[in-house]
Structure 1
């Protein structure tokens, strides 16, 4: 109800102000120090910044919102600035419909459509880092529908070029498309829940996958890339298939639903990748379970355990053989948030693996501060 009231108030003020409202500017500065580089890591060893962002948004003629987000990353090895979002989103369509066009975050899974600075841990779960490159954004068109029901129910679909999912551009005009649905409701006066189901169809490598000769050549290149990126940040998904299924479940508890001073949040997701590209296995899969306890207005602590089951190619007697691999990760964090726009987080991460290089333990000290306009966080 609070979010609907904010949207309604914004629309009323916009209609009074004129056709174009003032430009809103937001900045998130991210800084960290990590003791070791870990497998499939979103942050590398040493000092760096993983997701500092500059966002610009403005209402257009009271019918749409324009959003642009630039993301900067740097560490002791490289630096990069990337256009993560540049899209128009409708605000005046009837019947709960919403249309987006441009570059935006795909609406799949529990975390993908949210910016990483709102996460409870310093790095995304393993399944996101393996199957979506941390987070998947792309150029395309999306539509969503919010059902007029007492229980929250939302449907969404998107069609994308697929160029940003992997390291190579897609040969198809529509390289990926997505479907997702979410259900949610209150559970008594103190708790609420949300269930989500998502599907991603990936056609970016279909032609190479069907051509055995091209497949072998491309896989050798991809494998060299994967071996390098197991120990660092990747801008594309390292483990892909034609079909990705996601299921997520989130439960929250707070006294009388007021999470200002106290809240418990449990979240779990499962991912299944079918018709794998470039590996002699039937599928990949992964999951995580996390719990976060906000025990004070400024303090919270949490633990997350995750696992991905993958495959790696190893050389034995001058022959390449595929072996199933596994990576487990446990993260424990303590977070201090002195103001709404600042967060200092201390996190310990432990990894163990079978048939996979780069697993390690790491301590991360992570600081974020925000300035200016900032969109409300989702459930």
Structure 2
């Protein structure tokens, strides 16, 4: 048998992972090209990279030298490092990984939801025990590169649908949207506006669907004018609230699909001389620590961010230890937290 031949089934031994030379021969490329793919380099044509990644998944890869052990760290990737949201997530991850003597490395995508060029190279050079991506989505190529290097990935509050292959942790966003809107309906509101998140976000669409369902069940028609397309940031909530509150028949209540946008609604109400909750009831979503100190304290939907993060970290460590996951997709419950920003409509 030559150096590049695979062991035959008749040898009685299980098939062995392939070396770089054997992978290069099967793919019809140079060993340098295979080496670039194995080491996460980007200067390889997408078709060639996909071919080599497929061969590695099918046959395995046997490094020429013993592969270095993973570094004792977890890569925690955020689309943006702003406000209380990433702090709560980091707390939950840290709570789990410190028990395993692992450190946490934070990185930010500058409001992008897909990592840019060069990100995968930087991650692979650090050789992390695993990656948790928060409100983000990796490309298939990036996911394949992590998988073929044995770096497990878990998506937390994913912005898109990653398919069945990637473990995810999220919250019951539809139930949260339903509960927020039902609370306002039970108080007597019928002109209920919503400020959504971005259309591409699964959580935003689910919260909007919960809002629509609650109105439908109450026999209240959905008014398209009362749907404000937001972006999960304070400024978006401020802009949409100004538009909604200047309608000829303005809403008596606003459901903001995250607490940041609810802060924007508070600011708009103040600028327009409206009192919360006497002139306008407001409900948020997340229950970030700062919401209980708003004036008045914000009624909101509690999303268990720290618990979600701890769950994602636990899943990641199981994958890193080669253990199968009983549930690759986990959804934790949400809860209505009633404070002082909602009351019966004054008109």
Between structures 1 and 2, the one with greater helix share: 2
TM-score past 0.5 threshold: no
Q: TM-score band, normalised by the shorter chain?
A: under 0.3
Q: Higher Cα Rg: structure 1 or 2?
A: 2
Task: Calculate the TM-score normalised by the size of structure 1.
Answer: 0.24
